[in-house]
Amino acid sequence: MVIQEIFGVNTVMRGITDSLAAEGYVALCPDLFWRQEPGVQLTDQTEDEWARAFDLFNGFDLDKGIDDLRATIKTFRGLEECTGKIATVGFCLGGRLAFLTATRTGADASVSYYGVKLDELKDETVNCPCLLHVATEDEFVPKEKQTEVHAALHGNPKVEIYYYEGQKHAFARAGGNHFDQDPADLARERTLQFFKTYLI
């Protein structure tokens, strides 16, 4: 289950979902902004779109979002094509939610790319294998917050953390201002290996 950024289920999220399907997984990306505005498809290319994206982020009900993810996981498990094992992978807001699927849902594994506000969640109990991709120069996650999360989760046998030195937020967003092919490819390889370990 791919969990969207603040830009909705846009071309980037659809591409990630398609790429995971191409690897042989059943993949979907639920619309988590449906209560605010169904069908949001923004880009990171204009100031107006950024402003709208932050409005949606600030108005997002985290608890209801988790309820939606739980419902999606339940539905996902019932699909004939699904083995019953469910992993989540999320980016930005979705990275925060992916971490929460590891603490508050029955997901079997989760991957968080540059999740925001994880410092507010660091004391939650991680219940399944969880992989974090952290951009060291993330402008939305100050270094002191990164340190808090590291201190809380380092050594937890269920958590793997990879740091991408010099990378900014959304280094894996294809076409984005901070996209960097090599670390994006490395993070993808690590993600796919993680899925092979815990889903197959």
Please report the pLDDT score of residue 89 as a whole number: 98
138 is catalytic: yes
> pLDDT value at position 190?
98
Inform me whether the pLDDT recorded for 194 exceeds 90: yes
Helix (H, G, I), strand (E, B) or coil at 25: coil
- To the query of whether residue 44 is one of the catalytic residues in this protein, the response is no
Helices of type H across the chain: 11-22, 47-59, 62-77, 93-104, 143-153, 181-199
What average pLDDT does this structure show over 43-57?
96
Q: pLDDT digits over 132-180, tens only?
A: 999 999 999 999 999 999 999 999 999 999 999 999 999 999 999 999 9
At the top level of CATH, the class of 2-199 is: alpha beta
The residues spanned by each domain of the chain are 2-199
Rounded distance, CA 89 to CA 97, Å? Answer: 9
- Continuous segment of H or E residues that includes residue 89: strand 87-91
Share of the chain above pLDDT 70, in %: 100
Return the pLDDT at 200: 78
pTM of the shown model: 0.96
pLDDT range class, residue 20, cuts 50, 70, 90? very high
Set 44, 108, 138, 180: catalytic member:
138
Across the range 75-80, mean pLDDT stands at: 91
In this structure, the dihedral spanned by the alpha carbons of residues 84, 33, 50 and 165, taken in order and rounded to 10 degrees, is: -20
Q: Which of 44, 108, 169, 178 is catalytic?
A: 169
Mean pLDDT along residues 10-17: 97
